[in-house]
């Protein structure tokens, strides 16, 4: 058996970071046990608010302006948002040092759906033949689902109706998450019997909207007892106008429906917890748990009614940018919580560091392997940077963290500044308060520093008179 650690990467889609905190009502016994064995990062964040850019950043360690995937790939023409393939992926680095690499489920990074060219020896991506043949066999006798509870997105008039949440009689085992996990189990059972180190990446589409869950999982939650987030009724009067405009989609929802939506969302996560628990148990039963790095993360979060909004895209709120991240394994502290500000893109150099593979050395990301062994050593992990380029509608946002402070630079409206320690629900935008001019300037300066150091030349050179919409210009770097 190899001395190199195995890697089990458990990826969700659109899962809030806060659901893993001990005071949260979401029921996740397997994730809780994983947290007891590892480090939970309460300030982990995504580098982008939507799937494709965030996932491409995870694989390459690059920010979206450098890997080229600025929006979700199916939202644009085929010659737009194309992944720049000259940049290496961490799976390629692992394969080069002898890892047996396997990928199952949602890919959504680029259009070829040929994962072998990115270092994955077993291509079980949901756009490929292996996954689709398995799904056909696994579900061939399954009847079409029926719903005992559902709520559609009906507003504004003239848009197609779509499902926001629902409770179905179809079990998790026969829905997407079950198919993906079962396919992964089939191949992982073979890998744990081999001599080579392995890396198994499992990626489900849940709990992404529509929030669909089974009857059994939904029954675990008392809808009436669910507490709505304190910012659910934010009138957004001090936020960008587009947030209020987007919120018109859910203007017809009452508090009971908001609780139902939350219950379905949490129940979906409970189902994911059960499915991913199967994979963890498989590794444990094979006697390889102590030599396996397990990562639990999501590409981005979900608004889930906060500020009157659902989904993601518009807004730089924490419900979208704060993601779950737990890492456990050899040499990693047990049962610790770290306040280190680490990004999903930082996982790329971290895994290469932990596995002993060749580094991907770029200014966009940094390994936080040192924090895994010493979770309180957060001195170099107080700042964070994310970027958003829009989705179908063109908008520009940069999200900047420094300790308790957070700036959302909006290229389409006035900016947002929050003190997350005093205002964790981002109810009070203090960007226009002159008392916080120094904080605004410092955060903007850091924003320009990252933009300069990572080669975002288009934004760095936005000196044209009518494009001077940041609170301070890039020349403050020389001041």
Check pLDDT > 80 for residue 138.
Answer: yes
Per-residue pLDDT reduced to its tens digit, 395-419 = 999 999 999 999 999 999 999 999 9
Domains of the chain: residue spans and CATH: 6-137+175-208+226-382 (3.40.720.10), 392-479 (3.30.1120.10)
Q: By the 8 A CB rule, do 443 and 407 touch?
A: yes
- Predicted confidence band at 241 (pLDDT cuts at 50, 70, 90)? very high
Q: What is the pLDDT of residue 479?
A: 73
Inform me whether the pLDDT recorded for 216 exceeds 60. Answer: yes
As a whole number of angstroms, the distance between CA 479 and CA 477 comes to 6
Q: Which two tokens stand for residue 80?
A: 């737009």
Q: How many CB atoms lie within 10 A of CB 142?
A: 12
Label residue 432 by pLDDT band (50, 70, 90).
very high
Q: Residue 385: helix, strand or coil by DSSP?
A: strand
Determine what percent of the chain is predicted with pLDDT higher than 90: 97
The model's confidence at residue 37, banded by pLDDT at 50, 70 and 90, is very high
Rounded to whole angstroms, the Cα distance separating 266 from 368 reads 29
Dihedral pair phi/psi, residue 53, rounded to 5°: -60, -40
Confidence (pLDDT) at 311: 98
- Whether residue 125 contacts residue 113, with contact meaning beta carbons closer than 8 Å, is answered with yes
What's the confidence (pLDDT) of residue 45?
98
Torsion-angle region of 366 (φ positive above 0: left; ψ -120 to 50: alpha; else: beta): beta
Question: Per-residue confidence at 3, pLDDT binned at 50, 70, 90?
Answer: confident
Longest dimension (CA), the chain: 68
**pTM for this model (two decimals):** 0.97
Q: Inform me whether the pLDDT recorded for 2 exceeds 70.
A: no
Report the alpha-carbon distance of residue 129 to residue 425 in Å, rounded: 44
Location of structure tokens 């807004």: 315
Segment 44-83, tens digit of pLDDT: 999 999 999 999 999 999 999 999 999 999 989 999 999 9
Quick check: helix, strand or coil at residue 312? coil
Residue 29's pLDDT band, with cuts at 50, 70 and 90, is very high
User: Which segments within 208-355 are labelled E, that is strand?
Assistant: 211-214, 292-298, 325-328, 336-338
Cis peptide before 355 (omega within 30 of 0): no
Kindly list the distances between the CA atom of residue 393 and the CA atoms of 53, 75, 388, in Å, as whole numbers in the listed order. Answer: 16, 10, 11
pLDDT (tens digit, 9 = 90+) per residue, 229-238? 999 999 999 9
Q: What is the rounded average pLDDT of the residues 465-475?
A: 97
Please check the confidence at residue 1 and state whether its pLDDT lies above 60. no
> In a 3-state reduction of DSSP, which class is residue 73?
helix
Give the pLDDT confidence of 254-265 residue by residue, as tens digits: 999 999 999 999
CA distance 177 to 275: 7
The Cα-based distances of 257 to 149, 249, 305, 394 in angstroms read 10, 14, 10, 31
**What pLDDT score does 130 carry?**
98
Q: What does the pLDDT average to over 343-352?
A: 98
Distance CA 199, CA 331 (A): 17
pLDDT averaged over every residue in the chain: 97
**pLDDT category, 163, cuts 50, 70, 90?**
very high
Reported residue count of the chain is 479
Backbone φ and ψ for 137, nearest 5 degrees, come out as: -70, -40
3-class secondary-structure state, position 65: helix
Q: Distance between CA 214 and CA 42 in Å, rounded?
A: 29
Question: Cβ distance 198 to 192 under 8 Å?
Answer: yes
């Amino acid at each position: 058996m190899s001395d190199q650690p195995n890697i089990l990467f458990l990826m969700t889609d659109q899962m809030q970071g806060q659901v893993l905190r001990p005071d949260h009502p979401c029921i996740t016994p397997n994730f809780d046990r994983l947290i007891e064995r590892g480090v939970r990062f309460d300030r982990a964040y995504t580098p982008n608010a939507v799937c494709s850019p965030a996932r491409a950043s995870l694989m390459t360690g690059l920010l979206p302006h450098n890997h080229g995937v600025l929006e979700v790939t199916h939202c644009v023409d085929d010659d737009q948002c194309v992944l720049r393939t000259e940049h290496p992926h961490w799976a390629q680095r692992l394969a080069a040092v002898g890892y047996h690499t396997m990928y199952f489920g949602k890919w959504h990074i680029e259009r070829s759906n040929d994962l072998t060219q990115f270092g994955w020896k077993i291509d079980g991506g949901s756009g490929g033949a292996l996954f689709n043949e398995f799904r056909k066999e696994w579900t061939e006798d399954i009847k079409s689902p029926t719903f005992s509870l559902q709520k559609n997105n009906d507003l504004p008039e003239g848009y197609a109706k779509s499902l926001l949440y629902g409770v179905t009689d179809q079990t998790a085992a026969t829905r997407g998450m079950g198919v993906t996990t079962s396919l992964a189990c089939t191949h992982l059972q073979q890998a744990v019997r081999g001599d080579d180190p392995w890396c198994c990446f499992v990626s489900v589409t849940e709990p992404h909207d529509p929030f669909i869950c089974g009857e059994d999982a939904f029954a675990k939650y008392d809808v009436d007892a669910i507490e709505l987030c304190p910012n659910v009724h934010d009138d957004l009067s001090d936020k960008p106008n587009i947030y209020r405009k987007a919120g018109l989609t859910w203007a017809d929802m009452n508090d009971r429906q908001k609780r139902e939506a939350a219950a379905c969302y949490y129940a979906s996560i409970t189902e994911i917890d059960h499915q991913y628990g199967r994979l963890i148990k498989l590794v444990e039963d094979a006697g390889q748990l102590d030599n396996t790095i397990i990562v639990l993360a999501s590409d981005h979060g979900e608004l889930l009614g906060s500020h009157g909004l659902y989904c993601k895209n518009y807004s730089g709120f924490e419900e979208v940018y704060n993601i779950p991240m737990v890492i456990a394994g050899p040499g990693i502290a047990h049962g610790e919580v770290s306040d280190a500000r680490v990004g999903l893109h930082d996982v790329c150099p971290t895994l290469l560091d932990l596995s002993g593979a060749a580094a991907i050395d770029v200014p966009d990301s940094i390994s936080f392997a040192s924090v895994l062994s010493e979770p309180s050593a957060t001195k170099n992990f107080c700042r964070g940077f994310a970027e958003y380029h829009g989705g179908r509608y063109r908008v520009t946002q940069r999200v900047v963290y420094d300790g308790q402070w957070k700036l959302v630079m909006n290229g389409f409206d006035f900016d947002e500044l929050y003190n997350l320690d005093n205002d964790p629900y981002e109810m009070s935008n203090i960007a226009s308060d002159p008392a916080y001019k120094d904080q605004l300037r410092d955060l903007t300066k850091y924003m320009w520093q990252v933009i300069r150091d990572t080669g975002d030349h288009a934004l760095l050179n936005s000196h044209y008179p009518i494009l001077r919409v940041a609170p301070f210009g890039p020349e403050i770097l020389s001041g």
